[in-house]
Amino acid sequence: MPHLISARRVFCAVFLLFVCTLDTSPALARERLAPQERQCMRKGWEPARLEAAGLTREILWKAPRGAWTKGAILILHGGGGAHFQWCVANSQLVASQVRFAEMAVDAGFAVYLLNSSDQVTDNEGRICGKLWDDEVRSRPNLDLPFIEKIIREIIPQQRPPRSRPDIFLTGLSSGGFMTTRAATHFDTLITAFAPVSSGDPYGWHRICEKGTTERSTVHGKGFDNETGKQIVEPFACRAASYPNEKPWDGTNTKQKPVFRVFGHLEDGIADHSCREKLVRLLREHGYRGDQFVLRGGQRSLENHLWQDEYNRPVLDFFTAASVRR
């Protein structure tokens, strides 16, 4: 497996012309890692830090030995979560996520686990908690520069010879909203994307008032721009038209990534109408794709989580998209 440390030393040595922002120093491993990150390291994951949009951002990554025969996957965790929940399962709630990440590496993908900040604010300037900057606001987005740096700088530095250049995005809940936002923003750089348990990032907003939910890591609630309903409500995102949609990012090129939207019909956090809205609008904006829907059981929080039933279909979808490209 190529190592971030060795790559960093090479780039820093080239006439000192480049400022290296990727921190993989021994001090990082000794002093700045959470216990869960250390657990991931014992399983072969490598930690790193980089600067983007004035914030220090965190990564865990792992790759197969030799060439990346399937490309690279960027994974964005759910709201209130963290990147290490995709490489160590200290709770059964995230065990399927960990299985997915390991399956991806075994299949020939390099996997980058990105950590959100806790600095996202709503339109009134209130802190929203530990989640992605997953809607369109008047201020600059905090996460797009982070994702862009990984795609344009970090991955090309680390990619071994004879590897596939394809880059894929997937994410859960808030990470799913951000997956769509990033894939449409960087539409010429992404091969395919698979948002899970999420909706349309251009057509919703948060009101981040503390104390309005039982969660301590995420504040406030999310609402559809058209209906005004909270996205947990039945048919919250169903409307005849969407005049309150924010302008979409991206280019007019025909080279757009393909998508597959994943979700459960009985998702108790992001109503299935929000997934349906996302599919409709992606197609209206020229993206090709479909959806993968699980059914059965009662409406619940558990049906919002990443499911083992997603693992193989997501990897098969990415593999097929790479072959078609």
pLDDT digits 0-9 by tens, 256-266: 999 999 999 99
How far is the C-alpha of 232 from the C-alpha of 197, rounded, in Å? 11
The reported pLDDT for the residue numbered 22 is 61
Amino acid at 207: I
pLDDT band at 20 (very low <50, low <70, confident <90, very high): very low
How far is the C-alpha of 278 from the C-alpha of 134, rounded, in Å? 14
Mean pLDDT, residues 106-111: 98
Report the DSSP beta bridge partners of residue 55: 52
Are the C-beta atoms of residues 47 and 25 closer than 8 Å to each other?
A: no
| Angle formed at CA 164 by CA 291 and CA 173, multiple of 5 degrees | 35
Amino acid at 104: A
Q: What is the pLDDT of residues 268-323, one digit of tens each?
A: 999 999 999 999 999 999 999 999 999 999 999 999 999 999 999 999 999 999 87
pLDDT band at 24 (very low <50, low <70, confident <90, very high): low
Mean pLDDT, residues 81-91: 95
pLDDT band at 37 (very low <50, low <70, confident <90, very high): very high
Residue 73 has pLDDT above 90, yes or no: yes
Token pair recorded at residue 300: 């619940």
pLDDT band at 10 (very low <50, low <70, confident <90, very high): very low
The reported pLDDT for the residue numbered 14 is 26
How far is the C-alpha of 209 from the C-alpha of 128, rounded, in Å? 8
The reported pLDDT for the residue numbered 323 is 73
**What's the topology of domain 4-324?**
Rossmann fold (3.40.50)
Are the C-beta atoms of residues 55 and 145 closer than 8 Å to each other?
A: no
Are the C-beta atoms of residues 230 and 221 closer than 8 Å to each other?
A: yes
User: Which of 92, 75, 287, 73 lies closest to 159 in space, CA to CA?
Assistant: 73
The reported pLDDT for the residue numbered 322 is 85
Q: What residue ranges do the domains of the chain occupy?
A: 4-324
How far is the C-alpha of 234 from the C-alpha of 176, rounded, in Å? 19
Are the C-beta atoms of residues 217 and 80 closer than 8 Å to each other?
A: yes
Residue 18 has pLDDT above 70, yes or no: no
- Model pTM score: 0.91
